[in-house]
Chains A and B, each alone.
Chain A
Amino acid sequence: MSAPARPESVALLEKFVAALAARGLVTEQEIADRQASTDRASPEIGARMVARAWLDEGYRRLLLANGAAAAEQMGVSMAGAPPLGVLEDRPGLHHLVVCTLCSCYPRAVLGYPPHWYKSFEYRARAVREPRAVLAEWGTVLPPATQIRVVDSTADYRWMVLPMRPAGTEGWSEDQLTAIVTRDALVGVALPRLPVAAAAE
């Protein structure tokens, strides 16, 4: 668990809000509205972009050429957001995304970054021992598979377009969206078939 903010930080936050509010710079309503809109962004958006790319070659090309434009096509506003790059996995090549300097993350299409993405351990180790990090997620790639680790920055955000798993032939966009997890979009995991579907 990430530690809760210390009481002095909670007090500082309230003094800060009061100082801003006294000058008409923020209101509680604005804060609540902004929080609600931020809460609405979720990895399901990125998952649907991946599913669509698996089904629609034209969309796949757009996604790889201009991730932000592909996100806009899904109804996501990318105004003011940095460009979104999309990294396509293929046989023998896997991508993993990290922000070594802090926590840069394509929030418009994946929502809040999880705590572990922002942790000192992930930031330090993803670039040095990616296989060991992946193993902690149960992701073990063949030794011959190259792992390309890409650093998201304040000016350019990345997400992964994983390979479509075998056994998903004929699946709908909704079915495919459901197997693309946030972890798969960061590259720490692969899309997996539910056990029941895999057994069919």
Chain B
Amino acid sequence: MSEEKKAPASRGRVAAAPLLQVDKLSKLFPVRSGPFESPRFIHAVDGVTLYVRRGETLGIVGESGSGKSTLARTILRLHEPTLGRIVFDDVDITRLPDGDLRAMRRRMQYVFQDPYSSLNPRMTVREIVSEGIAIFKLARAGAMADAMAAATLEKVGLRPDMMGRYPHELSGGQRQRVGIARALAVGPDLLACDEPVSALDVSVQAQVINLLERLQEELGLCMLFISHDLRVVQYTAHRTAVMYLGRIVEMGTTADVAEKRHHPYTRALFSAIPSLTPDGKKRLVLQGEPPSAMDPPKGCAFHPRCPSMEKGRCDVEAPTLEELVPGSHHRVACWHPEMD
């Protein structure tokens, strides 16, 4: 099925030109407190710039409410972007009309978080996986579509005899595989995985991570990998973006972000990963909670919780995402990045 689309230039390798380019993307949600009140706005995503290449995984980490899911959904135009620009394979899809967008949708697919609620309980695995095939007319209904669905199921490690089952007859790991098969059936180039392993046990989690990596190698997929579990992102993503209150506060290769941790928030997040070998090191525990996106703090959104906050600067002016070392592609938005 992937033969009919143009084969990726280098399978399993990262091509130079980005497949996805996002510029200063913002998503605002209006909130009305009453029928006659004028709306206030939640900046769910606030001026995000990023790119992802073919065959590359960009990990997006952050706490709940940091805008990870909204960002991915806006990129796939499941939400209408408010400001900014989304370029997918050299096509500006920001304001693409519905008809043209539909064709693009085949190439950008979403794997949802909860395999328990994201599959329709009244549809069999066959119906779930072949729905996209029918919508995009990739095969004539009947034997051909069935064969295509079966091939996709095999690709995600499910036996074709699962086709007649309903979601409730499957285990959590199997359901997530069906969710991935549903997305893969239409032959996408970009896969946005929203917490794909959070609802699963560690043993099954490892299976799904391995599966996603194998699929990426085989199909040259470009992936957005959203997770609050840094350990998983650290393991699977080539590059990592750390989000806080709708903005990216640090982004670079996973190695750079994990090793240097320039932003104090990145530092706290990494420090919060419970270690398997208690080494007696004091954990850096952040005080307070993420503020509401309704009225974000002035200046740097992280300043009320930041251990190295400078009065008069951090609470007045918001830092922009800049390279600390020119040419390093490791960007940080902080007035006082940690340098040790």
Q: Bound pair: A and B?
A: no
* Interface residues, chain A, with chain B CB atoms under 8 Å away: none
